[in-house]
Amino acid sequence: MTQADKQYLELVRDILTYGYYDNNRTGIPTKKLFGKLFTFDLQNEFPILTTKFVPFKTAVKELFWIYVMQSNDVRGLQQMGVTVWDEWMREDGSIGKAYGYQIAKYKQIDKLIDGLKNDPQSRRHIMTLWNLDDLDDMALQPCAFQTIWDVSNGHLNCTLVQRSGDVGLGIPFNFTQYAVLVHMIAQVTNLKVGTLNHYMNNAHIYENHIEPVKTQLNRESYHAPDLWINPDVKDFYDFTLNDIKLINYKYHPKIDMVVAI
């Protein structure tokens, strides 16, 4: 199986078998496990599920919205045909001081890229969306909220820290889009991609997702696709959606699930 399918389906099985069952703020109970980790060798394989369809273009558009456009305006996503943030959009069209707002406020992309180029062995290469001063003015406090970066032997490594992980819907989206971000940052810092660690503090399956994810457990994976990034792009802000493509992505059908609000 692919790295992504193998680790993901093992997590699903573990949650269904050993998960702690209780309620939460959404009103839809979950089965959860604490402190789970995926590790992906990006030199070996691009991580995206093949045992169900993952909307790669949508994932990349949201990634661009946060890190390239550095926006909190949901209307910008809607113009790209993405509706995943519609439920949290405020009257002013924003999600408050969340996500891209925090990247722009502290110029976090610029500081990360400068640090990786000029002080690669620093242990302070961190981007965070978790700003205590602004949490109360966020329509949704960030789930995947921090990345910690490392350079070893010319390879760029990253740990994604996620406080809350919706395993049925969100997790497959998250590790795929952050793998893209590692590739983008590596290219503009003249590094090779290395390892992506994806840490989930609370990995959960909603009660109404249990039967859908069971369907996926019986599927065999296809070969992992290849990621293409335009090699001519040398400045992070020059990336466009057309500069990133997935090649030979073969997958099983989409599995419908309802988002818990």
For the annotated binding site for dUMP, the residues are: 25, 123-124, 163-166, 174, 204-206
DSSP code of 136?
Answer: G
CB 187 within 8 Å of CB 232? no
**117 residue type, one letter:** K
d(C-alpha 93, C-alpha 129), whole Å: 20
DSSP code of 73?
Answer: B
31-48 burial, b at 16+ Cβ within 10 Å, e below that, comes to bbbeebebebebeebbbb
Return the biggest CA–CA distance within the chain.
50
Binding residues: 25, 123-124, 163-166, 174, 204-206, 260
For the annotated catalytic residues, the residue numbers are 143
d(C-alpha 43, C-alpha 189), whole Å: 16
- The long-range contacts involving 17-22, CB below 8 angstroms and separated by at least 24 positions, are 19/204, 19/205
